[in-house]
């Protein structure tokens, strides 16, 4: 091969490789080719499976057919049926009849039991459906006949509460509170079929029976009582009897039974209870309502504490001790299950709704409760309860302690009124006065105003000393400024302090004179902070421009988010909160005018003015009733500050100073120790200065 031939072959190879490189498939083309290949493989596999299904005919064995007849024969004569979405079979005069859904086809039971078929695929699907139904009915034993039925709704109501009972599961499916409106509905429902379900699970040594799967037979005993009953055959019955207590939010729920020792052996001594709730919103302000939603529970016994799951974030709790009641509680309404005896521990789960979920705007949390309670199959009434389905109103909740004569139910703990001291102030003082004013006034804006005035009058002996001290400090400000000018610099700090304290002593004033009275008032202020957001009486009550005193009085709203503060501030502006902030700034300015610390510590001055702005951020999303209370309280405080100046004359203060200077000086032990400490501090300063001079 000559040189030209070799060169030609190399050029041809280069052209071929270049063409292949330019025409290589893209990643998208490779993916599409793979998809087509997989689709072809899937179709071939389905075709092969279809051929297999047609080749092999499944059928019910003789023992399976006999078992099917036995299941139907064990049912009461009037209801020897198996019915679900796939299977509709019955036994009449010993003959098995019915049909089975097999995909899009309907197959007669005679064809299902045959060993040949013109449509093998449909035949096999039908056989599988019958076997699944047999398995379900075999697992449910005596309860199997209750798997079939039709949902019926029965209603009970009184002046406060209306409930609906559903024969599917024998549960309260809907509970409507009369006289309350939701932000998006003319009524408040603490139970709805879409959001709430509960049930008992009984068990023998081999099977578990969840009552949520069964259709109960209803029997209305009277206008306020309905019995939901399961007839299990051979004289065995199990049911739930509901009684709506007249004029209350209480529903009595009793477990009733007869002949159950034929179904549940005596060695089974507990029954499980499961409760799931998707907690719906009732208030316009979702953020604050969500913060006040949780599972609450009380430990059994006279001293049993009330605790709850975390109100922010997800939470799981495992309870090992005995419980008296468990509740799903939101800001203003609760559903509480109260046991006559006890509940033996439980698992509680609280999950927040994901912000990307379509349920986020409608619901607050997903709550799950699992517990158990004592049970005996030979007792006519093995367990009984009360369901409280109502508002978190202090007066109402406290009245239900009579339902448990042996221990305090502490249902009022469903209302968050602060720590022990603040709760005592609320329950012992604030709530009684608030309720008393409500007996002859209907405008809650006026009630808050009068409550504020009453509190201010009661606290006036404490605040009087604060105002007098502030007035004296204002008169002494020129003298303090003169002392600061006479003894300037760090070298004279001790001397300046001595002269200032001497002036305070002569005038009978103190820069700390108002601290103790203010500290004594703080528990009242904090108690009110917890009271107003929890006060259901304010819910839906309007005053001036505020449409709802239990919610923010929004004058401007927007949809965007403010970085870092939206979780506290919200996406609106509250007018009462703005007024409170402005008033607080004015009061701060008045206070600073009477204090010489603002001259010596300029940073403190700005800190004092920053505090009202911080309150604006944190209070903007709170109940407008709370901001209104603080606004009125600050206005009264400013008025008291100005009026106190009329009670203190500058001439009298200076006359007091002169008289005190003329008196023989007798130092108290405290003043002597203070002066000695100041002298030692001054001496230490001098020694330090001397050492510094020597080094130079």
| pLDDT at position 31 | 56
CATH number belonging to domain 153-416 = 2.70.98.90
| pLDDT at position 456 | 84
* Distance, C-alpha 469 to centroid of its chain: 45
| pLDDT at position 648 | 64
pTM comes to 0.75
| pLDDT at position 566 | 60
* Distance, C-alpha 108 to centroid of its chain: 53
Kindly report, residue by residue over 480-539, the tens digit of the pLDDT: 777 777 777 666 666 677 777 766 666 666 666 555 556 667 888 888 888 888 889 888
What whole-number distance in Å separates Cα of residue 31 and Cα of residue 104? Answer: 35
- 203-206 contacts, C-beta under 8 A, 24 or more apart: 203/264, 203/268, 203/272, 204/141, 204/263, 204/264, 204/265, 204/268, 205/265, 205/267, 205/268
* Closest residue by Cα to residue 187 from 277, 291, 280, 276: 280
| pLDDT at position 36 | 44
What whole-number distance in Å separates Cα of residue 610 and Cα of residue 560? Answer: 25
Kindly report, residue by residue over 4-43, the tens digit of the pLDDT: 555 555 555 554 555 455 445 556 545 545 544 554 455 3
* Closest residue by Cα to residue 308 from 288, 289, 328: 328
Q: Are 578 and 616 in contact (CB under 8 A)?
A: yes
Q: What is the mean pLDDT of the chain?
A: 78
| pLDDT at position 44 | 46
What whole-number distance in Å separates Cα of residue 151 and Cα of residue 170? Answer: 10
| pLDDT at position 81 | 76
What whole-number distance in Å separates Cα of residue 342 and Cα of residue 300? Answer: 7
Structure-block tokens of residue 263:
């179904």
Q: Where are the domains of the chain?
A: 62-147, 153-416, 444-658, 666-695
* Closest residue by Cα to residue 337 from 297, 282, 392, 305: 297
What whole-number distance in Å separates Cα of residue 236 and Cα of residue 171? Answer: 20
Q: Which residues of the chain have pLDDT under 50?
A: 1, 15, 19, 22-23, 29, 32, 35-36, 39-40, 43-44, 46-47, 50-53, 596-600
Query: CB within 8 A of 634, min separation 6: which ones?
Result: 580, 583, 584, 587
What whole-number distance in Å separates Cα of residue 241 and Cα of residue 219? Answer: 9
| pLDDT at position 533 | 85
Q: Are 498 and 681 in contact (CB under 8 A)?
A: no
Q: Are 626 and 558 in contact (CB under 8 A)?
A: no
| pLDDT at position 47 | 42
């Amino acid at each position: 091969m000559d040189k030209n031939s070799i060169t030609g072959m190399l050029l041809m190879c280069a052209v071929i490789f270049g063409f292949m490189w330019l025409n290589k498939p893209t990643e998208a083309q490779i993916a599409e080719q793979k998809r087509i290949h997989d689709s072809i493989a899937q179709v071939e596999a389905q075709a092969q499976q279809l051929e297999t299904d047609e080749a092999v005919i499944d059928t019910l064995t003789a023992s399976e057919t006999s078992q099917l007849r036995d299941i139907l024969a064990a049912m009461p004569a009037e209801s020897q049926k198996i019915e679900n979405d796939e299977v509709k079979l019955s036994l009449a005069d010993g003959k098995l009849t019915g049909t089975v859904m097999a995909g899009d086809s309907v197959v007669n039971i005679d064809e299902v039991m045959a060993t040949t078929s013109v449509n093998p695929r449909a035949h096999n699907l039908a056989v599988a459906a019958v076997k699944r139904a047999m398995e379900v009915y075999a697992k449910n034993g005596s309860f199997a006949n209750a798997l079939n039925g039709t949902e019926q709704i029965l209603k009970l109501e009184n002046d406060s509460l209306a409930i609906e009972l559903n024969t599917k599961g024998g549960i309260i499916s809907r509970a409507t509170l009369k006289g309350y409106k939701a932000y998006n509905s003319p009524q408040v429902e603490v139970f709805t079929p879409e959001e709430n379900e509960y049930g008992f699970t009984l068990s023998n040594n081999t099977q578990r029976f969840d009552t949520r799967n069964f259709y109960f037979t209803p029997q209305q005993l009277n206008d306020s009582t309905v019995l939901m009953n399961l007839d299990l055959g051979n004289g065995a019955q199990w049911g739930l009897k509901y009684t709506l207590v007249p004029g209350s939010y209480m529903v009595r729920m009793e477990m009733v039974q007869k002949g159950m020792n034929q179904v549940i052996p005596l060695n089974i001594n507990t029954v499980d209870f499961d409760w799931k709730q998707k907690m719906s919103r009732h208030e316009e302000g979702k953020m604050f309502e969500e913060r006040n939603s949780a599972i609450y529970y009380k430990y059994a016994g006279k001293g049993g504490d009330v605790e709850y799951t975390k109100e922010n974030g997800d939470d799981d709790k495992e309870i090992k001790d005995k419980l008296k009641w468990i509740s799903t509680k939101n800001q203003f309404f609760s559903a509480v299950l109260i046991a006559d005896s006890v509940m033996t521990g439980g698992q509680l789960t609280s999950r927040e709704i994901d912000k990307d979920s379509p349920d986020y705007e409608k619901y607050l949390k997903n709550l799950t409760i699992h517990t158990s309670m004592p049970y005996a199959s030979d007792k006519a009434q093995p367990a009984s309860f009360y369901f409280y389905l109502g508002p978190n109103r202090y007066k109402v909740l406290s009245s239900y302690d009579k339902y448990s004569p042996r221990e305090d139910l502490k249902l009022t703990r469903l209302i968050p009124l602060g720590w022990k001291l603040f709760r005592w102030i609320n329950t012992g003082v604030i709530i009684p006065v608030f309720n008393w004013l409500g007996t002859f006034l209907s405008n809650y804006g006026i009630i808050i105003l009068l409550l504020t005035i009453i509190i201010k009058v009661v606290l006036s002996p404490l605040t009087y000393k604060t105002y007098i001290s502030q007035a004296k400090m204002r008169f002494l400000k020129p003298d303090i400024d003169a002392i600061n000018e006479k003894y300037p610099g760090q070298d004279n700090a001790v001397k300046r302090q001595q002269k200032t304290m001497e002036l305070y002593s002569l005038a009978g004033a103190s820069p700390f004179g108002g601290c103790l009275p203010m500290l004594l008032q703080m528990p009242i202020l904090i108690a009110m902070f917890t009271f107003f957001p929890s006060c259901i009486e304010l819910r839906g009550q309007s005053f001036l421009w505020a449409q709802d005193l239990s919610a923010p009085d929004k004058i401007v709203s927007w949809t965007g988010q403010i970085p870092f503060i939206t979780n506290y501030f919200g996406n609106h502006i509250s007018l009462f909160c703005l007024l409170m902030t402005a008033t607080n700034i004015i009061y701060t300015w008045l206070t600073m005018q009477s204090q010489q610390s603002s001259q010596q510590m300029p940073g403190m001055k700005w800190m004092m003015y920053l505090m009202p702005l911080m309150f604006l951020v944190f209070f903007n999303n709170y109940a407008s009733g709370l901001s209104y209370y603080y606004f009125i309280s600050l206005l009264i405080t400013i008025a008291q500050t100005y009026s106190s100046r009329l009670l203190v004359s500058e001439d009298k203060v200076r006359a007091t100073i002169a008289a005190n200077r003329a008196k023989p000086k007798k130092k108290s032990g405290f003043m002597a120790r203070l002066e000695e400490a100041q002298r030692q501090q001054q001496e230490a300063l001098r020694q330090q200065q001397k050492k510094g001079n020597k080094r130079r």
